[in-house]
Amino acid sequence: MIEEIKEKALEEKVPIIKDGGLFFLLEFIKERNAKDILELGTAVGYSSINMALVNKDIHIDTIEKNEEMYKEALINIEKANLDEQINVHFCPIEEFKTDKKYDLIFVDAAKSQYYKYTEQFLDNLKEDGAFIYDNMIFHGLVYDVENIKNRNTRSLVKKIIKFSDLMRNDNRFDIIFHEDVGDGLLVAFRRKSERK
């Protein structure tokens, strides 16, 4: 079932998390016993279904603004019998508001908005919770930015690098950059002194 979703997504060029990144994410959830998860960027539900399968007590809120993706995610989640565990919100991330606190916020939507998302959802992170950001090396392009021919891609990659620098210098977080995992994952824990 999950393999079918993956194959179809790859065939249709839907951007889903890479195997290495997914493995890391699932291990992280197990090790930290994360139960409440917010995901920014559902696509067809591949990563949320994988996360929900870790443990029946896990609950995921996941946000998607593309109607086609949203509908396909609902079908996939229903087929996997995970409707009780995964709640897909059909709206732009920017408009999503909740008082809920999460153990993990997995950020996998518009790369240029990662810092904004961090500010938007910081209060929704439990005090020992973490953000995980995907695509931090963006297919390796962050290492060769000046040679990127396409202007839009170059501008996006520059924004990812800027985000990475902002996070390194943001004293609210302790960060670990796993550049060799999947498409590059950045993990940000709230600093102890910042915890409310």
Residue 69 sits in the site that holds ligand SAM (CB under 6 A): yes
Phi/psi of residue 14, nearest 5 degrees: -80, 125
Interface residue with ligand SAM among 54, 82, 93, 130 (CB under 6 A) is: 93
* Tokens coding 101: 């606190």
- Closest contact distance (angstroms) between CB of 126 and ligand SAM is 21
Amino acid at site 45: G
Half-sphere exposure of 155 toward its Cβ, with a 13 Å CA cutoff? 5
Angle formed by the axes of helices 151-168 and 114-121, nearest 10°: 40
Q: Which stretch binds ligand SAM (CB under 6 A): 58-66, 122-130, 155-163, 182-190?
A: 58-66
How many Å apart are CA 44 and CA 15, to the nearest integer? 9
Which residues in the chain belong to E strands, given as ranges? Answer: 36-40, 59-64, 86-90, 102-107, 125-133, 173-178, 185-190
Residue 141 sits in the site that holds ligand SAM (CB under 6 A): no
- Closest contact distance (angstroms) between CB of 195 and ligand SAM is 27
- Closest contact distance (angstroms) between CB of 165 and ligand SAM is 22
Q: Which stretch binds ligand SAM (CB under 6 A): 89-97, 121-129, 154-162, 171-179?
A: 89-97
Interface residue with ligand SAM among 17, 37, 58, 160 (CB under 6 A) is: 17
CB atoms within 10 A of CB 97: 10
- Closest contact distance (angstroms) between CB of 6 and ligand SAM is 9
Site for ligand SAM, rule CB under 6 A? 15-17, 41, 43, 46-47, 63-66, 69, 92-94, 108-110
